Structure 1
Amino acid sequence: MTFQDRTVAIIGGGSGFGLRVAHGVIAGGGTVVIGGRSQQRLAGAVAELGPKARAHAVDLEDRPSIVAFFAAVGSLDHLFVPAATYKVGPITALSDEDAESPFRTKFWGQYHAVKAAIPRISQDGSIVLMAGAAGARPLKGAAAYAACNSAIEGLGRALALELAPVRVNTVSPGTIDGHLWRSRPAEVYEAAFAHYSTLTALGRPGTEDEVAETVLFLMRCGYITGSSLYPDGGYALR
């Protein structure tokens, strides 16, 4: 299956994983509609992607905004929602509001995006949910975040049954050297990359392009549904 004459909606397509997936879709002959909160970032991404991309603002914590986004998208074939803003930390250190933040944007944001997309998505299309390897293999000090990722994987399996023949899968990356980590202080991401490298079979963090290739594979492969793939460098093997 190729992306020729196919439309892919990506909420969080202005940077990071989402932007890399958008490039892959366009390279495969498709068109993309990207969404996010920053109009400036969206405009920059559309300029980078070219005429086969368009953008509309959307806030995953604002349900009317989500509905309006999909009304602007119209019909679509694939959906990917990597956008999320949240705090991570130990249960004794996080406020209740911060502990709930992964669920507000990463879980419920994706849930409501899928719900709004259902009437518009083609029956031979797909949805790729964004979780994280911490759901299956948590690191110490991020219990609520790990639980959120596990919940997203469970949501993906359940929706694969409920929405069939639309395919629903989940991508659960490990630590990735990309936009999110590089926006943090150098001493933070360098320590995280060094530690994660000791935990993986491949001995390094991943790249945004490697995660994007996993997402594109799940969109293209017409006989995979209800699965979770882990681009994590073999973290489970150590």
Structure 2
Amino acid sequence: MTALTLKNQRVVIIGGSSGIGLATARQALEQGASVVIAGRSEAKLAAARQLLSSDKVETYALDNRDNSQLELFFKAIGSFDHLFTPGASYVRGPITSDEATAESCFKAKFWPQYYAVKFALPYLHPAGSIVLMSGAFSQRPLTDGASYAACNGAIESLGKALAVELAPKKIRANVISPGTIYTAFNWEGAEQATRDASYNAYTDMNVLGRVGKAAEAAHTVVYLMTNSYTTGTTLHPDGGYLLR
């Protein structure tokens, strides 16, 4: 593999039909990769395929919370070079939250990434890479997300463990931990007013004084895929959220 390029490589993105995943797909295509994007919504996948407008794009309907679907998905797509796993849907709440809320981020964010890696490994090329996604809440939690902070921290620890475990196979593993990013999704079921309030609050919480763009987070993902000397690292495209 030639460092610093994705030319002639195959990138798999679970959660690639919108947000950071879609922005990563676009940048990977610009670098000459072919891209496989998977997601739960057939309509969003069709829209993403039309938007990307490339014969190097494949789309698959997939519920990444279903391990049997994950296993069949990787069997279907075959060999590839890089895996990115931004797809997640969860509800955040304080320690007093009900059981469903407390467990939602682990069920929808941690375990889907864990099992995606497990089922992907037989098809991932040596010298390839894995990029997981956590969130800056792991390092600077607020008052309404105990389990969410723990989940993001667990994903970052998983990235380090995978970097060590997969080093003999020359497979690298890293994590992107973004701050708040403008996307169509914020919290599951949240109305636009709630999202806007979150975005506005975030501008006062970081050094740069603004919310991030999906393309900026995607640029970090592409770096982690292309820099062949980076593994076991968590990068924070967060506008300086951790410094405030």
TM bracket, shorter-chain basis = over 0.9
Partner of 1:230 in structure 2?
236
Q: Is the 8 A contact 1:126 1:219 kept in 2?
A: yes
Aligned to 2:210: 204
- The one of 174, 177, 180 aligned to 1:175: 180
Query: Whole-Å Cα distance in 2 between the matches of residues 72 and 8 of structure 1?
Result: 15
Deviation at 1:189, TM superposition (A): 2.1
Identity, % of aligned positions: 48
Task: Please list, as runs of the form range in 1=range in 2, the aligned pairs for 1:62-101 lying within 5 A after superposition.
Answer: 62-92=66-96, 94-101=97-104
1:47 aligns with 2:50: yes
Whether contact under 8 Å (1:176, 1:205) holds in the other structure is yes
Aligned pair partner of 1:18 in 11, 16, 21: 21
Cα distance in 2 between the residues matched to 1:102 and 1:155: 15
CA contact (8 A) 1:126 1:167 kept: yes
For residues 134 and 201 of structure 1, the distance between their equivalents in structure 2, rounded to whole angstroms, comes to: 16
| Aligned-partner SS, 2:11 | strand
Residue identity opposite 1:223 in structure 2: Y
Which residue does 2:223 correspond to in 1? 217
For residue 146 of structure 1, give the secondary structure of its aligned residue in structure 2.
Answer: helix
Letter in 2 for 1:172: S
> What residue in structure 1 maps to residue 133 of structure 2?
130
Tell me, what secondary structure is at the counterpart of 2:150?
helix
Gaps of 5+ in 2: none
The C-alpha deviation readout for 1:194-228, integer Å capped at 9, x for no partner, is: 22111111011111111000101100100000000
Inter-partner Cα distance in structure 2 for 1:111 and 1:151: 10
In the TM superposition, what whole-angstrom CA distance separates every residue of 1:94-146 from its partner, at most 9, and x where no partner exists? 21022101101210000000000101111111000010000111111111000
Q: For the Cα contact (< 8 Å) 1:131–1:153, is it kept in 2?
A: yes
C-alpha offsets along residues 66-110 of structure 1, whole Å, 9 cap, x if unaligned? Answer: 011111211010000111111101121x21022101101210000
Read off the aligned partner of 2:49 and give its amino acid letter.
Answer: V
Q: Which runs of 5+ in 1 are unaligned?
A: none
Q: Which of 35, 38, 47 is equivalent to 1:35? A: 38
Amino acid at match of 2:184: H
How far did 1:37 drift? 1.1
Distance 1:38 1:187 in 2: 24
The one-letter amino acid paired with 1:80 is F
Alignment root-mean-square deviation, CA? 1.3
Task: Tell me the TM-score normalised to structure 2 length.
Answer: 0.94
Match of 1:195 among 184, 189, 201: 201
Kindly indicate whether the alpha-carbon contact (under 8 Å) linking 1:178 and 1:208 is maintained by their aligned counterparts in 2: yes
C-alpha contact 1:9 1:73 (8 A) present in aligned 2: no
Counterpart residue type for residue 114 of structure 2: Y
Say which SS state the counterpart of residue 170 (structure 1) adopts.
strand
Query: In structure 1, how many angstroms separate the alpha carbons of the residues matched to 2:50 and 2:182?
Result: 24
- Taking the aligned partners of 1:24 and 1:200, their CA distance within structure 2 comes to 26
- After TM superposition, the score normalised by the length of structure 1 is 0.96
Aligned-partner residue type, residue 181 of structure 1: N
Task: Write the deviation string for residues 148-167 of structure 1: whole angstroms up to 9, x where unpaired.
Answer: 00000000000000011200
Asked if 1:166 corresponds to 2:159, the answer is: no
